Structure 1
Amino acid sequence: MDSVGNSRRPNFLIIVADDLGYSDTGPFGSEIKTPALDKLAQTGMRLTNFHTASACSPTRSMLFSGTDNHIAGLGQMTEHMASKEAYQNRPGYEGYLNFRVAALSEILQDAGYETIMSGKWHLGLTKETAPSVRGFDKSFTFLSGCCNHYNYEPQLDDPSHSIFTPMNAGEFWMKDGAYLDRKEDLPANFYSTTSFTDQLIDYLSERKNSRKPFFAYLPFTAPHWPLQAPAEVVAEYKGVYDDGPDALRSKRLQALISLGIVPKDTEPAPMTHKLWDSLSAEERAKSARSMEVYAAMVDLIDRNIGRVVDYLEKTGELDNTFILFMSDNGAEGSLLEAIPIMGGETTVNAIISKYYNNSLKNMGAGDSYIWYGPEWACASMAPSRGFKTWITEGGIRCPCIVRYPPFGRDQNFQTNSFSTVMDILPTILDIAGVPHPGTRFRGRDVVGVRGASWVPHLAGKAPSFHDEEKEITGWELFGLRAIRMGDWKAVYMTAPRGKDRWELYDLSSDLGELHDLASERPDILKTLTQHWETYYAETGMFDPGHDFPMVKI
C-alpha cells in the first residue's frame, strides 16, 4: 500500500515542456488550444507558485536529484563552461548529473519499477552519463540542449562552422545505451514532439509484465527554438497574434485574474524590451507568424500528451498513475544556448542565411530557423519580470499540473503554496513508499535531498507544502542571485538587468518585483543576505570570475 492508501503500486509519468511560458496553456490562461492539459487540470490540481532554475539543465538536475543544481553537477550549464578552466575539479560543476546524487530513476529502478524515457536528457553527453547509466531500462534520447524538430541540420555536415559545435561529433542521439546516427536511425517523418511520444507509447505497450509499476519520463524539446511546426497546425492560429505582444499580455493577465491565479490588483512588470511599435508592417507580420508557430508547437505538445493519457485510460492505468506536467524554466526571450557555441550574431545570421529559408511563407518549416524574441516571452510570463535566464520570477516561476486521484482532492483544485522542482523526487518516493537511500547508494556516497514531499498538502492534511514563513530557497545562475524566505525575496543582478547590489521585494504584494524595499527594510535584507551566505557555503558555489553575455541584454 502506498502513502495515500492505494493498494496497487502507483505508476509515474513526468512530462516536461522546454521553455514553455507561464500562461501558455489553457489551465494558466492561454488562448492556445490545450484540451488534454485542460482535462488533467480539471480532474487534478494546478500548482500556481511552482519554481525551477532559470534555465533547463540545472532544473533537470534538481528534478532528478531532489537537491540544488550546484550540488547535483549543474552549477553552471555545460555550454557555458566548456572552455573555462575555472570550473575544472569543482564538485557540483561537472556539467552533468553527477554521481554524488542518487537519481530518481535509479532509486525507482532498484525499487522494482520499469523505468523508461523518451526525449531530451541534457544531463550528460557521454555514454558514462547517459540515461541508460542513470537508471533507465529503456531510453530514446537527445543528449544535448536543442535540435531541429524535423532533424534538418545541414550545417552539421561542415565542421568548419562554429554553429552547434558540440553537435559536430554526431553522437547526440541514443537508444537504450547505443548511439544513433541521426541520418540513418531516426524516422524519415521525424518531428520531435510526435516521435518522442511514439517511442514512449511503444515502450509502454512493449512491457512484458503489465502489473509491474512504471516510471515514465517524457521531456519534449518543444517549444524550444528553432520554432517549427506543421503548416496545417500553424494555420489554425493565423491572425491570432496580429495585435502584437502587448495585446497578448493584457489578455493573458485578464485570464490569470479570472482564474484566480493572480490578484486583480496585481501590478505587472513592464516589458524588458519594446520593439513592436517600431517594426514595419512586414516585420510585424513575421513577428506575429513566429508566435503562430510557437502556439502550434504548444498545441502539438498537448495533442501528444492526450495520446499518452488515452493510452493509459485504455489500459486501465490512468487513475493509478501520478501525472506531473511542468516547464523547465521561464519562456525563452533570447538565444541562451547559442551564445557560447554559435560564434556571435554575424555567424548565426550567415549560417541561417546559407542553409535556411526564413521567408514569411516558409516560417515554421523544417528548413526555417526562427525564434520569437523577448516581447512574446514577456507576454507569456506576465505579471512576472523577465524570462529565461532572469533570476526574477519571470525566469523561475513555471506552470505545473498534477493529477493523482488517490489524493482525494476535489477536482480542479488549485494551490498557490510555494513549491520547487526539488520537491518532485521526495514526493514521488513518498507516494511510491520508497525511502531515499540516505548517504550510501550503489556503492557510492550520496547527498540527501533539499526538497520536501507534497503529499501532505495535496492529500489535504497540511495547509501548505512548506512552512510558508520560514522556508528558505536560493537560486544562482549566470552570476545572478536570489534568496527567498516566505514572501520576501532578495535579488542581486548585474546591470542592465539589475542595480549591481541586493534588491528586496515583497512578493505577497509585488509579483512583478517592481518596488525595491532594500532601503525601507534593511533588517529583512540583512537576514536574507545572511541566509544567502549560508546557501552559498552549503551548495559549494563559487564565482568563476567571468561575465555571461546573455545577462547583459
Structure 2
Amino acid sequence: MPQRPNFLVIVADDLGFSDIGAFGGEIATPNLDRLARAGLRFTDFHTASACSPTRAMLLSGTDHHIAGLGSMAEAIRGEQVGKPGYEGHLNDRVASLAELLHDGGYRTLMSGKWHLGLTPETFPARRGFERSFALLPGAANHYGFEADIPAEETPRLLKVTAGLYAENDAFIDELPAGFYSSDGFTDKLLGYLQEGEADNRPFFAYLAFSAPHWPLQAPPENVARYRGRYDGGPEALRAERLGRLKKLGLVGSDVAPHPVEARSPEWGALSAHERAVSARSMEVYAGMVERLDWNVGRVVDYLEARGQLDDTVVIFLSDNGAEGALLEALPTFGPNLQQVIADYYDNSLDNIGRGNSYVWYGPRWAQAATAPARLYKAHTTEGGIRTVAFLRHPGLIRQGEISHEFATVMDIAPTLLELAGLSHPGTEYRGRPVAPLRGRSLLPYLKGHRDSPHPDDHVTGWELFGQRAIRQGRHKAVFIPAPIGPDTWQLYDLKADPGETVDLAATRPDILARLLRHWDSYVAETGVVEFNFNPLR
C-alpha cells in the first residue's frame, strides 16, 4: 500500500454470530453486509466471553488477565481483589493500541462504550485517544432515561448501569436532547472526523456501540419493520438461520448444532401473552441491530464521499456471543429486580422498546443467534467466545472471501501496528514495564504468505467467572462449573464438531492431558486466579 491506511474498528455489544445478513440473519443490515461481502468474513474468530475483558484484549493485544480485566470490574471476587491483572480497569502493565498509534503519528478518535475504567485517570483520554466521547460503565439506558428510584430500593443491576459519560478528560453532566446511544455515538465520531479534515495524519477511529446490549430499546420506526416476524418463536428462528449459514458456506452442511440449554420454558409452554412479550422483545432487538447498521452506513457514506473508504481498513466484530442470561434469575443483580422494574418502568406490550421500558430476551433467542455453537455470552464454550467478525480493505482482501482459520481479538493490535509501520515497544513503554503482545499480526495471512494466522501448535486460553477453556489447533478442553455444566473438563474436536456435542475426554485422555498441561502454563503466564463459581448463589 502506498501510504499508511486509516483504521476504523467497530465493535457491537452482545451481537449474535448470525444476527447480520452477511452471516445468515434476517435483520436488515445492508451497510454491514456490503462491507462484509467486500471483505473477509471470519467464522473462527474469538474474543473473551464478556465485554470489558474483550475490549482490554482489543486495545492491548494481550490477555485480559494481564491487562487489568481478569474479571469484569463489577464481578471481582474477594480472592481476586488486589491481585495483579484484577484492577478493574485497563492497567499500566500494557501499552494501549491508541497510545502507540498516536505516538506513531495517527489521529486517535473514540466514541461509544469504554468499560475500561470509571475514573478520570482511566478515561480514554489518558490511554491515547486525543478525542473521545465515552459511556464509562458496561451498559446504560440507550435513551439516557433514569427512573426515579430511591437509592435504598435500587437493585444492583440498575446501580452498575446508571448512565455515566465523559468527553475527553471531563465527565458529562447532561446528554443532548433526543439522545439515542447508537445515533449519539455516531454523531460524535463523525464530528471528530470532520474536525480533522484539514489534518494530514491518518486516523484510528474506534466506534464502540452499546447496542444491542440490554435494556432492549430502539426507535419505533426500526422496530415496526419486524412486527410479527418472530411469532414462530426462537426454535423456528434457529432452524432458519442455521439453514442460511449452511447455504452461505459459513458452517458445514453436516454440522451438528448443540442442543438448546435453557431454564426458561419452551415456546409452546408459554401463554399467548408471554409469547407476545417475548416476540416483541426480539422485534426490538432486531430494531436495535438495524439502527446500528444505519449508523455504520453514515460513517461509510462520510468516508466514501471524501474518497477515504478504500484507504481505510475496516474491522467489525462483536465483543462476545449473544447475551442469553435470565437476569431475573441471578440474585447478584437484585434485590427485587423484577418488582422494581414493574414499579418504575412501563413494560406493557405496546411500550416495550421505549426509553422507559426495560427488557432482555433470554437464552432461547440468544441460542438462535449462536447456533450451531453451545450456549452464549459469559460461557467459555463456543457460543460465548466465537463471534461475528470481518475485515475489509481492497488492498488486502479479495472480495467475498471467507476464512475458517482460528484468530482472536488479540490479533487486531499487532495487525494494525504492522499496517501502520509501527512496532510494539516490547517490555518497556514510557519508562514503565509492559507486557509483550500475545496476539499475532494477521498481515502475513491476509497477504497470502501464511496458510493461517496461527500455527497448528498455537495455544490460547480463556477464563472468566470460573469457566475455563484451553485450545490448541483443532482440540479444545472446556470446564463449565455446576450447575450449568458437568463440573469437569470436557474435550472437543472443533474441526469435526464445532457445536461441542461429542465429549472426547474419556476416549482421548492423552489429548486432554496435554491440553491441561497447557492450561497450567496459561494460568502461570497470565496470573489467572482460579476459583469455583456458582452463578445461582
Report TM bin, short chain: over 0.9
Aligned partners of 2:144 and 2:163 also within 8 Å: no
**Deviation (angstroms), 1:85:** 3.4
Match of 2:172 among 166, 176, 180: 180
Change beyond 3 A, Cα 1:127–1:476 = same
Instruction: State the AA in 1 paired with 2:123.
Output: A
**Deviation (angstroms), 1:529:** 0.5
Change beyond 3 A, Cα 1:171–1:327 = closer
Partner SS state of residue 246, structure 2: helix
Show the counterpart of 1:294: 285
Aligned partners of 1:323 and 1:404 also within 8 Å: yes
Match of 2:511 among 490, 511, 524: 524
Show the counterpart of 2:416: 428
| Structure 2: distance between partners of 1:398 and 1:337 | 25
**Deviation (angstroms), 1:319:** 0.6
**Higher mean C-alpha deviation, range 437-446 or range 253-262:** 437-446
- Per-residue CA deviation, residues 45-97 of structure 1 (Å, 9 max, x unaligned), is 1011100000000101100111111111111111112xx43223200111111
Aligned partners of 2:189 and 2:207 also within 8 Å: yes
Show the counterpart of 1:215: 204
Show the counterpart of 1:140: 133
Show the counterpart of 1:252: 241
Change beyond 3 A, Cα 1:222–1:433 = same
Partner SS state of residue 16, structure 1: strand
Show the counterpart of 2:108: 115
| Structure 2: distance between partners of 1:341 and 1:177 | 32
Match of 1:413 among 386, 397, 401: 401
**Deviation (angstroms), 1:546:** 5.9
Task: Give the alignment's TM-score, normalised by structure 1.
Answer: 0.94
- Per-residue CA deviation, residues 300-319 of structure 1 (Å, 9 max, x unaligned), is 11100000000001111111
Matched, 1:487 2:471: no
- Per-residue CA deviation, residues 473-522 of structure 1 (Å, 9 max, x unaligned), is 10001101100011101011112322211111111111111111111001
| Structure 1: distance between partners of 2:461 and 2:331 | 26
Match of 1:74 among 66, 69, 76: 69
Show the counterpart of 1:331: 322
Partner SS state of residue 264, structure 1: coil
Matched, 1:549 2:535: yes
Partner SS state of residue 425, structure 1: helix
Partner SS state of residue 491, structure 1: strand
**Deviation (angstroms), 1:328:** 0.3
Aligned partners of 2:328 and 2:337 also within 8 Å: no
Extract unaligned runs of 5+ from structure 2: none
Partner SS state of residue 237, structure 1: coil
Change beyond 3 A, Cα 1:158–1:353 = same
**Deviation (angstroms), 1:163:** 3.8
Instruction: State the AA in 1 paired with 2:361.
Output: Y
Instruction: State the AA in 1 paired with 2:345.
Output: Y
**Deviation (angstroms), 1:384:** 0.2
- Per-residue CA deviation, residues 319-358 of structure 1 (Å, 9 max, x unaligned), is 11110000000000115699576324xx111221121110
Q: What is the aligned residue count? A: 535
Instruction: State the AA in 1 paired with 2:25.
Output: S
Show the counterpart of 1:449: 437
**Deviation (angstroms), 1:272:** 0.8
Show the counterpart of 1:3: none
**Deviation (angstroms), 1:446:** 0.5
| Structure 2: distance between partners of 1:336 and 1:533 | 33
Change beyond 3 A, Cα 1:118–1:288 = same
Show the counterpart of 1:311: 302
- Per-residue CA deviation, residues 187-206 of structure 1 (Å, 9 max, x unaligned), is 11000001100110000001
Aligned partners of 1:63 and 1:422 also within 8 Å: yes
| Structure 2: distance between partners of 1:425 and 1:489 | 25
| Structure 1: distance between partners of 2:404 and 2:422 | 27
Aligned partners of 1:334 and 1:374 also within 8 Å: yes
- Per-residue CA deviation, residues 217-262 of structure 1 (Å, 9 max, x unaligned), is 0000000000001111111001111100000000100000001011
Partner SS state of residue 86, structure 1: coil
Matched, 1:228 2:217: yes
Show the counterpart of 1:129: 122
| Structure 2: distance between partners of 1:509 and 1:46 | 20
| Structure 2: distance between partners of 1:385 and 1:208 | 46
| Structure 1: distance between partners of 2:65 and 2:143 | 34
| Structure 2: distance between partners of 1:18 and 1:256 | 21
Partner SS state of residue 474, structure 1: strand
Change beyond 3 A, Cα 1:338–1:133 = farther
Instruction: State the AA in 1 paired with 2:216.
Output: L
| Structure 2: distance between partners of 1:316 and 1:483 | 44
| Structure 2: distance between partners of 1:375 and 1:166 | 27
| Structure 2: distance between partners of 1:355 and 1:15 | 34
Change beyond 3 A, Cα 1:167–1:271 = closer
| Structure 2: distance between partners of 1:66 and 1:159 | 41
Show the counterpart of 2:459: 472
Partner SS state of residue 112, structure 1: coil
- Per-residue CA deviation, residues 10-34 of structure 1 (Å, 9 max, x unaligned), is 1101000000000000110000011
**Deviation (angstroms), 1:444:** 1.1
Aligned partners of 1:155 and 1:163 also within 8 Å: no
Aligned partners of 1:171 and 1:179 also within 8 Å: no
**Deviation (angstroms), 1:403:** 0.6
| Structure 1: distance between partners of 2:478 and 2:146 | 39
Partner SS state of residue 481, structure 1: strand
Match of 2:20 among 22, 25, 35: 25
Show the counterpart of 1:87: 80
**RMSD (CA atoms):** 1.7
Partner SS state of residue 317, structure 2: strand
Q: Percent identity?
A: 55
Q: How does 1:358-377 map to 2 (within 5 A)?
A: 358-377=347-366
Q: How does 1:52-63 map to 2 (within 5 A)?
A: 52-63=47-58
